[in-house]
Amino acid sequence: VTAPKYLAAAALALGALATIAGSPRVHQNARLDVSRLAQVVEREEDHVTALELAAWIRDQRDDVRIIDVRDSADFEAYHIPKAERIALDELVSTPFRASETIVLYSDGGAHAAQAWVFLRALGYEKVYFLRGGLYEWLDDVMNPSIAADASDSAKAEFERVSEVSRYFGGVPRTGDAASSLPSLPVPAARESGSTKAAVARVRGRGC
């Protein structure tokens, strides 16, 4: 008879204290094992290359979620196939499954790398960012090129890259063809800090 009364009193006390304790969420600061993260970065396990990401998309890996952290105008203008847009401030409150592999990208790499730190701090393990951002995607996947006098092994590798590139509507170029296209906008885009010109070029091909 007394045990239920004790339990009721305990529940009452814990309930009453809850009113003045405040929300449990404010104590949920993300935690960061900095030395462990440093090792991950050191081992270069923090990022993927554009070609690796392209292969994942081509292989239709359904455990991979590609997150574009740029603004909606940039996203509407161009984004990596299968990407979804989540702004940085929303990203930290977006629930992901532990089994999902998350790939983050931005124009360059800075915002995506910062987002990587946020998600790692929140405890997600399988998080990567696209090292060179959308620029790298445009350079290596959409506009790959190789010098005409490249070695045979380099050419064999380029053939493999070209296959991935064509899957995404890219236009691989060899030798003089690459250098004879002065309007190839990627270097200019890097300097102006915008992918718009590069994007316009890719979209202009109608892919």
Question: Which residues here bind other proteins, judged by CB under 8 A?
Answer: 8, 11-12, 14-16, 18-25, 27-28, 31, 93, 95, 97-99, 123-126
CB nearer to other proteins: pick between 95 and 182: 95
Question: Which residues contact residue 170 at a Cβ distance below 8 angstroms, ignoring those fewer than 6 apart?
Answer: 141, 142, 143, 144, 162, 164, 207
In angstroms, give the least distance from the CB of 23 to other proteins.
Answer: 5
Please give the Cα distance from 151 to 136 (Å, whole number): 23
| CA distances, 81 to each of 76, 78, 137, 162 (Å) | 12, 9, 11, 17
In angstroms, give the least distance from the CB of 96 to other proteins.
Answer: 9
In angstroms, give the least distance from the CB of 28 to other proteins.
Answer: 5
CB–CB of 59/81 below 8 Å? no
- Which helix (H) or strand (E) segment holds residue 105: the answer is strand 101-105
CB nearer to other proteins: pick between 34 and 98: 98
CB nearer to other proteins: pick between 27 and 43: 27
In angstroms, give the least distance from the CB of 21 to other proteins.
Answer: 5
